[in-house]
A and B are shown apart, each in its own frame.
Chain A
Amino acid sequence: MPRRVMPMKPKVEYLSILDGKGQLDKALEPKIDADRLLVLYRLMLSARRLDERCINMQRQGRIGTYGPCRGQEAAHCASALVMGPDDWVVHAFREPGSMIHRGWPMERILQFWGGYEEGCSPPPGVKDLPIAVPIASQFPHAMGIAWAMKLRGDKHAVLCFGGDGATSEGDFHESMNFAGVYGLPVIFMIQNNQWAISIPREKQTASETLAQKALAYGFDGMQVDGNDALAVYAATQEAVDKAKKDGGPSLIEAVTYRLSVHTTADDPTKYRKQEEVEKWEKLDPIPRFQKYLLDKKVLNAKLVEEIEADILKQVAEAVTRFEAGREVDPLDCFDYMYAEPAAELLEQREEFKAALQREGVGKGH
């Protein structure tokens, strides 16, 4: 026949397990033991409390511009939880919960937003890439790490974060294409938070879903309720299992919402309505997950209070450590540029050193 609908092997599915009203689909409920559920709860709450503290600190001038994750805690924490220590996580910039889980001390996150390169240095043994500011340019790195894993025959996987805006960038498509061609163990985790600064999701692409973009590259896409920690966890686990069995890449679109500003330099009242925000406030992933844990008796009122107090203490301690580490040597901007710095660079270092001495600039912020 000359004209017919083409059958497509890759598919797009939608997954919701714990819905906005707190209704649980028992048949789909992932089996996660109580300790792990509590880890996830703590992680989501840590991300929320650190986020709130960062906004305050920006307002007080104690850190620079900050990009919050409020509303996206399920999407990034539940997916990161699936990744093992030999798997890699490649970050965008709205995933503090993932970084905390992976072993980044909270003060490193403060350091990044506070203007210190130290905030980009993963602690020893942490197989993560740091915050990436340019949109989508981290996808090729995730793809490349997965490529190297495959070439080496290592059965690990890579989780890479990006946003709805990032799916318009070439780097996203090029990486998806390579991942499909070589069957790489990488999970493209798209946090569709509906807004790329002022551009709404429907103006970002004419595609009905972001998940379907995987079809063009020959693999499956899944759209999940990104405010449903269980759905995000289950979808990521499935994608990771597939990747480790040499089943190739996956795209997960976590449908969520940026409840806060794009960054502290942004005023969202210019481009979106308060009613929309209020609608999504009701779908906040944290109360939903908390209620699930209370119903399950994994949590109780006393434990909720204890965890809350403990997290606030951890955040406060991280802030103290961050503030205590403010004194750095400006001269060390030369010291990590090259493994083997050239003579001309060392000469400039001496020039800078002399200038700092003349100007009486020591360590300090």
Chain B
Amino acid sequence: MAQMHMVAALNKALDEALRLDESVVLLGQDIGVDEGVFRVTADLLKRYGEKRVIDTPLAEAAIVGGAVGMAIYGLRPVAEMQFSGFAYQAYHQIEQHVSRFRNRTRGRFGLAMVVRMPYGGGIRAVEHHSESRETIYAHTPGLRMVIPSGPRNARALLLESIRHPDPVIFFEPKQVYRSFKEEVPDEPEYMAIGKAHVAREGSDITLISYGAMMRPTLEAADELKEEGVNAEIVDLLSVAPIDTETITKSVSKTGRAVVIHEGPRRCGIGAEVVARIAEKALDYLHAPIRRVTGFDVQFPYFARERAYLPNANRIAHAAREVLAF
């Protein structure tokens, strides 16, 4: 076991995947010599050479579309989008091909490939570097959409995503890349995609969260704890599919829920979670569900970012309102 940041844990997973499976190749802009703009691919070019860790020209559609061709030929490409805000230049490839190849060829060409993207705000970045658009991918049939929240699950989910037979969009919460360390086992560890994790057990209210929002959610739970409220926290980890069972089991126990995410509210993951609770666990609810999310506005430039991002205070406030209903 070693203590490490999420960046190091992701790097460890990529290193292990390259070592364990010779068909794994990494491709993306600045991932080789520069080791990735966040250093997620540190040392990998040196260790595995330029046939496995490939610096590409600056063209997102060719990176993703090229990875499609590689996957069809039998490689396991792990493509990096430098920021999720630039993945739209490859979005047509994801929607028209990555998500569809298996189905339209009746299973002849499944695409075992991963597209990694740092997402979300909180790092005082320039325009187009802060959005959370997981909904787009979660809404696209044929994809898996994974969002880890900490070093250990980031490593285990990335390893699983790379060995998974279906295409996975892997969002990395860049706000927590280096914000805290966790114990990460030395030996490869895998976590099933589509399984939520009960990050904290409680009995009074369920806080459903994921990705970078897990930190403020945990802080809010600490605040509530001081007030005598035991919040249960569900970390979704995967937003396509969503682990309905873990959510409804928790809400059935607590009877109250707040859903938290960074992206805009309208048609967000929260809307889907709330709908599932309404369909499966309405009878257990003691109060209306609240959502603490980004608003339906463009993500502000960084001067307003700190104020804008959902925080522990807002989550705790929403929880208190639900509890007081």
Which B residues between 74 and 130 are near A, CB-CB below 8 angstroms?
A: 74-75, 77, 89, 92-93, 96-97, 102-110
Closest Cβ neighbor of A156 among chain B residues: B73
Give the residue of B57, B92, B105 whose beta carbon is less than 8 angstroms from that of A120: B105
Asked if residues B69 and A337 are in contact (CB atoms below 8 Å), the reply is no
A299 sits at the interface (CB 8 A): no
Binds A, one of B10-18, B215-223, B238-246, B305-313: B238-246
Q: Given the complex, which residues of B lie within 8 Å of A175, measured CB to CB?
A: 62, 65-66
Q: CB-defined interface of A124-155 with B at 8 Å, one 1/0 digit per residue?
A: 00000110001001011111111111011000
Which A residues between 158 and 172 are near B, CB-CB below 8 angstroms?
A: 170-171
Asked if residues A144 and B97 are in contact (CB atoms below 8 Å), the reply is no
Asked if residues B65 and A342 are in contact (CB atoms below 8 Å), the reply is no
Which secondary structure dominates where chain A touches chain B?
A: helix
Asked if residues A178 and B166 are in contact (CB atoms below 8 Å), the reply is no
Which A residues between 339 and 363 are near B, CB-CB below 8 angstroms?
A: 339-340, 342-345
B136 sits at the interface (CB 8 A): no
Q: Nearest Cβ distance between residue B62 and chain A, in whole angstroms?
A: 4
Asked if residues A338 and B57 are in contact (CB atoms below 8 Å), the reply is no
Asked if residues B105 and A148 are in contact (CB atoms below 8 Å), the reply is no
Give the docked Cα–Cα distance between A280 and B113 (Å). 45
Which A residues between 92 and 125 are near B, CB-CB below 8 angstroms?
A: 117-118, 120-122
Q: CB-defined interface of B217-249 with A at 8 Å, one 1/0 digit per residue?
A: 000000000000000000000000110110000
Q: Nearest Cβ distance between residue B21 and chain A, in whole angstroms?
A: 14
Asked if residues B106 and A121 are in contact (CB atoms below 8 Å), the reply is yes
Which B residues between 273 and 311 are near A, CB-CB below 8 angstroms?
A: none
Give the residue of B64, B65, B241 whose beta carbon is less than 8 angstroms from that of A344: B241
Closest Cβ neighbor of B69 among chain A residues: A144
Q: Nearest Cβ distance between residue B78 and chain A, in whole angstroms?
A: 14
Q: A337-B103, A339-B165, A344-B241 are in contact. Are A149 and B73 (CB under 8 A)?
A: yes
Asked if residues B96 and A137 are in contact (CB atoms below 8 Å), the reply is yes
Give the residue of A145, A177, A339 whose beta carbon is less than 8 angstroms from that of B110: A339
Q: Nearest Cβ distance between residue B192 and chain A, in whole angstroms?
A: 10
Give the docked Cα–Cα distance between A181 and B59 (Å). 13
Closest Cβ neighbor of B89 among chain A residues: A170
Closest Cβ neighbor of A134 among chain B residues: B96
Give the docked Cα–Cα distance between A174 and B56 (Å). 11
Asked if residues A145 and B73 are in contact (CB atoms below 8 Å), the reply is yes
Closest Cβ neighbor of B194 among chain A residues: A342
Q: Given the complex, which residues of A lie within 8 Å of B77, measured CB to CB?
A: 144
Q: A137-B97, A144-B72, A339-B110 are in contact. Are A117 and B104 (CB under 8 A)?
A: yes
Give the residue of A121, A148, A338 whose beta carbon is less than 8 angstroms from that of B73: A148
Asked if residues B62 and A340 are in contact (CB atoms below 8 Å), the reply is no
Q: Given the complex, which residues of B lie within 8 Å of A140, measured CB to CB?
A: 61-62, 64-66, 68-69, 93
Q: CB-defined interface of B32-59 with A at 8 Å, one 1/0 digit per residue?
A: 0000000000000000000100001101
Asked if residues B73 and A144 are in contact (CB atoms below 8 Å), the reply is yes
Give the residue of A145, A177, A339 whose beta carbon is less than 8 angstroms from that of B69: A145
Asked if residues A137 and B93 are in contact (CB atoms below 8 Å), the reply is yes
Asked if residues A344 and B244 are in contact (CB atoms below 8 Å), the reply is yes
Asked if residues B244 and A143 are in contact (CB atoms below 8 Å), the reply is no
Q: Nearest Cβ distance between residue A119 and chain B, in whole angstroms?
A: 9
Give the docked Cα–Cα distance between A305 and B65 (Å). 45
Q: Given the complex, which residues of B lie within 8 Å of A333, measured CB to CB?
A: 103
Q: Given the complex, which residues of B lie within 8 Å of A337, measured CB to CB?
A: 102-103, 141-142
Q: Given the complex, which residues of B lie within 8 Å of A342, measured CB to CB?
A: 194, 241
Closest Cβ neighbor of B67 among chain A residues: A144
Q: Given the complex, which residues of A lie within 8 Å of B72, measured CB to CB?
A: 129, 141, 144-145, 148
Q: Nearest Cβ distance between residue B244 and chain A, in whole angstroms?
A: 6
Q: A117-B103, A122-B105, A130-B104 are in contact. Are A174 and B59 (CB under 8 A)?
A: yes
B191 sits at the interface (CB 8 A): no
B157 sits at the interface (CB 8 A): no
Q: Given the complex, which residues of A lie within 8 Å of B25, measured CB to CB?
A: 151
B70 sits at the interface (CB 8 A): yes
Besides the known contacts A171-B92, A337-B141, A343-B244, 8 further A-B residue pairs in the complex with CB atoms under 8 A apart: A121-B104, A137-B93, A141-B65, A144-B68, A148-B75, A152-B75, A174-B65, A177-B57
Between A and B, 15 residue pairs with Cβ closer than 8 Å are A130-B104, A137-B92, A140-B62, A140-B66, A141-B68, A141-B69, A144-B71, A148-B74, A170-B61, A175-B62, A175-B66, A178-B57, A336-B102, A336-B103, A338-B166
Interface residues of B (CB under 8 A from A): 25, 51, 56-57, 59, 61-62, 64-75, 77, 89, 92-93, 96-97, 102-110, 141-142, 164-166, 194, 241-242, 244-245
